[in-house]
Amino acid sequence: MCAACGRQGAVCFTRRPPWMSFTLTKREPVLMNSVASTAVPPRVRMRNIAKRYGAIQSLRGVNLEVAPGEVLGLVGDNGAGKSTVSKVLSGAVIPDEGYIEIDGKRVHFENPGDARVHQIEMVYQDLSLCDTVDVAGNLFLGREPMRRICGVPVLDLAKMHLDAREMLDGLGIRIPNTRLDVENLSGGQRQAIAISRAVSFDPKVLIMDEPTAALAVAEVEAVLDLVRTVSARGVSVILISHRLQDLFLVCDRISVMYEGQNVADRPIGETNLQEIVDLIVGHKFNARSARPTIEN
Ligand SMILES: Nc1ncnc2c1ncn2[C@@H]1O[C@H](COP(=O)(O)OP(=O)(O)OP(=O)(O)O)[C@@H](O)[C@H]1O
Ligand SMILES: [Mg+2]
């Protein structure tokens, strides 16, 4: 319950930040060291996570830590295991080995519902939206507001659209009509809806798998601002992306995966694009597409 507005946390946006400021500056980094020095456990600690699919060893002892409010960039080549490790954390995949701790306590997830109880939300690579359902319907899928007419429960459509509008406005997302079917929206708007839905569950940890992969420049910036917004609220964000330049704008730290293992972990101020590219491909790599486009 929010003390300021009296609403449940899931739809409370009283603490709404200024949105769309579009100042593409780097954030002050959240340091894992400061967590260690005050003996506060990390929000997420994954240890020795292994997962095999038949002949494919997808994960080989992955370790991952994220502090409260930290933005961790998770990178690696295609098939490195990024989606698999994030699905383990979101409860969609059960690991063969290893364990997860949330705020220092061991947890065991059998499904995404278990992870949601611990306020872990994931925006999947394919977004998992219902294309033929409207914006409000997607935001409230499975928890639609109801009202009673002559004792019979019916869908409270007016409330659902009002709450959807409040939710989108609170995150500064510009979608003119919550009655539009999601299939008619742009890639950026669809991504924003998937993120809003995840944020509306009031997560402590938000995992985003390739949120900017198919977006135009302005839409990418909107999603990056959304990352800044939620991390400023103390949400730990794990951001998987092949768009490395985006990571340098919002991440505190980058963790590199290679063939199912973590091979490096770098605070953002202590690395650069070229080093991350080299770590991703596993050797010194010199390609024009890998040359830095921003100053690090
Ligand atoms: N359900 C599955 N069944 C069989 N193999 C799988 C399954 N899920 C993942 N894998 C395999 O595990 C490995 C890691 O896949 P994963 O999707 O985690 O990689 P990724 O780092 O997310 O790659 P990308 O950047 O292409 O999204 C791949 O070899 C993939 O084929
Ligand atoms: Mg993936």
Global pTM? Answer: 0.83
pLDDT in tens, 195-218: 889 988 899 999 999 988 878 888
Q: Find the ligand nearest to 87 CA.
A: 1
Q: Find the ligand nearest to 74 CA.
A: 1
Domain boundary assignment for the chain: 41-132+186-290, 133-180
Q: 164 vs 31, 49, 76, 128, 134, CA distance in Å?
A: 35, 37, 35, 18, 11
pLDDT in tens, 156-174: 999 999 999 998 888 878 8
Out of 49, 84, 89, mutate this one to test ligand 1's pocket (max ligand atoms within 8 Å of CB): namely 84
Q: Which amino acid is at 189?
A: Q
Q: How does the average pLDDT of the chain come out, rounded?
A: 84
Q: What percent of the chain has pLDDT over 70?
A: 82
Q: Residues 2, 121, 138, 143: what is their CA dihedral angle, to the nearest 10 degrees?
A: -60
The rounded Å distance from CA 126 to ligand 2 centre is 10
Q: Find the ligand nearest to 58 CA.
A: 1
The protein residue whose alpha carbon is closest to atom 10 in ligand 1 is 58
- Measuring from each residue's beta carbon to the nearest atom of ligand 1, which residues come in under 6 Å? 53, 56, 58, 76, 78-84
CATH class of the region 41-132+186-290: alpha beta
